[in-house]
Amino acid sequence: MNIRVAHLYPDYLNIYADRGNIAVLVARAAWRGHELDVTEVGIGGRIVPGAHDLYYLGGGQDREQLLVAADLATKAEPLKAAAAGGAAFLAVCGGYQLLGRGYRGHHGDDMPGVGLLPLETVAGDRRMIGNVLLECELEPGVRRTLAGFENHAGRTRLDPGAEPLGRVVSGFGNDGESGYEGCRVGRAIGTYLHGPLLPRNPWLADWILAQALAHRTGGEPPELAPLDDELEALAHAVSSARAQRR
């Protein structure tokens, strides 16, 4: 089955090799007999709700975010319509910030956001950098850990009652204070974890693929065939240990 992916602004939002997340999804889909059909959507490109099963936004510095923010804002309504129709979203770092209502950068630039995630972000004076470990529960009663790397000045504040992606075990998270990281609305998730995120967290890659397949078929997320994740598990263990030594 073809899984249709819209990769937004890959020429701008690709800090810390965030394209690697797409490479992981391509490989894990292929190993199960599926194909990822990736379409790059740049400045001036159109979003057609229902045309894609997964939307991906990578990370970028303030300069790159400023270059794409106004154009992304023009895509806000079709992106929100796509999410309402069951499409999956993964937004990382700068993409995460812009999937909220807006981001005020380090130099005071106000950048409009999509408004898909219930949050706002303002840059602080000190960067929050280092390995990070989260505890997540994307499925009721199933707790897993996410390991990654964060490097951001943004302080992201979730609206009251908004669902975070996970609880911070070690690291800063959204703002260094709340004890939470990322945000989730249905099949859309945003996070500061990159470097990239998915090679060391294969369970999350499979969760995203399952959500995209559910949109493609109009059914429930399928249970994917297990893979040999020995190397991925080792990468996760190394990242987890580094985070817990902070």
What gap in Å lies between CA 160 and CA 174, rounded to an integer?
Answer: 14
Choosing from 7, 52, 194, 236, the catalytic residue is 194
Residue spans of alpha helices (H) in the chain: 19-30, 62-74, 76-84, 94-99, 202-217, 230-244
Q: Is 7 a catalytic site residue?
A: no
Q: Is 93 a catalytic site residue?
A: yes
Q: What are the structure tokens assigned to 243, written together?
A: 């985070």
Choosing from 52, 93, 136, 183, the catalytic residue is 93
- In this structure, the dihedral spanned by the alpha carbons of residues 186, 189, 190 and 196, taken in order and rounded to 10 degrees, is 180
Report, as residue numbers or ranges, the catalytic residues. Answer: 93, 194
